[in-house]
Structure 1
């Protein structure tokens, strides 16, 4: 528990601090989140408090503290005066789509929606809505370093490339060229991906697709530590 809290406390900011830095109230922040202008908290830390006294009485309560990605500071600053949430979503979608379509390894992304050079627009819309929902829920505050459109695209591709690599090479020792490829994939993933809290590391994309592969190939020194 202590290591998890240390990670969250070091890498995320509380609701109170986010509001203080950006000069808004908690009600303002709640409104921005509800209008999908700011992602929701990525972690909620709940503490149980018990008070006793010599009078043989006691009081128990729980305190829940919401922790946001530090990237939310700039997002709040950008959007706190914006009234049209659809404008923000449309700009986000346009940038996401352009970054995805220009990426040299786009064919790895989203179950090969680029099997034809131009993606099926309906499928692309479905992909974006899924990613937008994850972004608004604060999931990319957990998974990526800065929750940007570029990082969402790059992480998707990095994960899919790791999955393909593992499917092809997991049953045999790697040769020199394959080790070099794994090192490149490690760099691509680390360029955009977060470490995840210790309790969720094993089940995360980092734990499942990168950490285990590095360990299995005697590259433990490359596994990101806390």
Structure 2
């Protein structure tokens, strides 16, 4: 429990601190979130408090604290005076698609979207809406370092490349050339991906597709540490 709390406390920012830094109220933050100008909190920590005294009485309460990605600081500063939420979404979509189309390994992204060497606009729109929902829900505050359009694309591609690598090599001991390839994939993933809280890590993309194969091949020194 302490490891999880320490990780979140060190890498994320509380609602109170976020509001103090950006000069907004909690109510104003709620409105920004409702308008999809800022993502939801990535973590919520609840603690039960029990107070007793020699008077044989007690008081119990639950304290709940929201933790946001630190990228929300600059995002609030950018969007707190924006009156058109759709403008921000449109800009986000444009950058998202630009990063996807410009990536040299885009063929790995989103399954068969580029199977026929041309983009299916309807499918691209579906993919974006799914990723936009995940972003607004605070998921990319957990999964990526900066929650940017570029990070989302790079992580998608890095994960898909790791999945393919695991499908081919997870049941064998790696040769030198394959270790070199895995090392490169590790660097690409770490460039954009968070470590995940300890309780999440084993089930995360990092735990399933990177940590396991590194450890299996005695490459523990490459496993991203806390």
Tell me if TM exceeds 0.5.
yes
Alignment-derived partner of residue 215 in structure 2 = 215
Q: Structure 1: where are the runs of 5+ without partners?
A: none
- Comparing 50-59 with 3-12, which one deviates more in the overlay? 50-59
Measured after TM superposition, the shift of residue 25 of structure 1 is 0.3
SS in 2 for 1:9: helix
1:39-58 to structure 2, matched below 5 A, reads: 39-58=39-58
Measured after TM superposition, the shift of residue 172 of structure 1 is 1.2
Measured after TM superposition, the shift of residue 100 of structure 1 is 0.2
2:163 is the alignment partner of 1:163: yes
SS in 1 for 2:196: coil
Q: Structure 2: where are the runs of 5+ without partners?
A: none
Q: Deviations over 1:128-183 (max 9, x none)?
A: 01100010000000000000000000000000000000001111111111111000
Count of residue pairs brought into register by the alignment: 226
Alignment-derived partner of residue 70 in structure 1 = 70
Report the TM-score, using the length of structure 1 for normalisation. 0.99
**Cα distance between partner residues in 2 of 1:137 and 1:95:** 19
Report the TM-score, using the length of structure 2 for normalisation. 0.99
Alignment-derived partner of residue 153 in structure 1 = 153
Alignment-derived partner of residue 192 in structure 2 = 192
Alignment-derived partner of residue 112 in structure 1 = 112
**Cα distance between partner residues in 2 of 1:98 and 1:42:** 26
**Cα distance between partner residues in 1 of 2:119 and 2:21:** 41
